[in-house]
Structure 1
């Protein structure tokens, strides 16, 4: 993330969260181009990350993880 100066790629504030542009799903989780590929990762601030996910709500099944990286079923 140093390539973007540790700043949010949307608003320019301090970036804190690495966001997946293509949301992770159970179907694509093992596809490293999606889960780990730099083309699918974006550094964002908390505010922009919330806005992105507020817009995504209801648009397909996503997955979430616990603090140990395990999938949390929902």
Structure 2
């Protein structure tokens, strides 16, 4: 669900500039989620979310300070304000579902 770009932003995510920046963020953050340290199902997240009103603001779209690497769970928590897993379960650092301790 979170990986589907909204129509107004698709040209950004399909650009070579974004693909290079995305790879740079992965390397810069050592392939680890900035929040939980997980290493599976990682996505580059815009801290200030992209909207039709700010899509032409290059500091928001491509600004390194506005980007962070998040695992699927942390990204879902950011966008959905709830975990994508059933209560009592979480994804571990290998992307496997396990019971919370």
Both structures adopt the same fold (TM-score exceeding 0.5): yes
Larger Rg belongs to: 2
Q: Distance in 1 between matches of 2:69 and 2:57?
A: 20
Q: Is the aligned partner of 1:3 residue 2:22? A: no
Q: Which has the higher helix share?
A: 2
Q: Is the aligned partner of 1:12 residue 2:40? A: no
Match for residue 25 of structure 1? 51
TM-score, normalised on structure 2? 0.52
Measured on the aligned residues, the alpha-carbon RMSD in Å equals 1.0
How many angstroms does 1:14 deviate by? 1.0
SS at match of 2:68: strand
TM-score, normalised on structure 1? 0.70
List runs of 5+ in structure 2 lacking aligned partners. Answer: 1-24, 82-101
Deviations 1:50-69, CA, capped at 9 Å, x for gaps: 000012xxxxxxxxxxxxxx
Q: Distance in 1 between matches of 2:55 and 2:39?
A: 27
Structure 1 outlier segments of 4+, above 6 Å: none
List runs of 5+ in structure 1 lacking aligned partners. Answer: 56-74
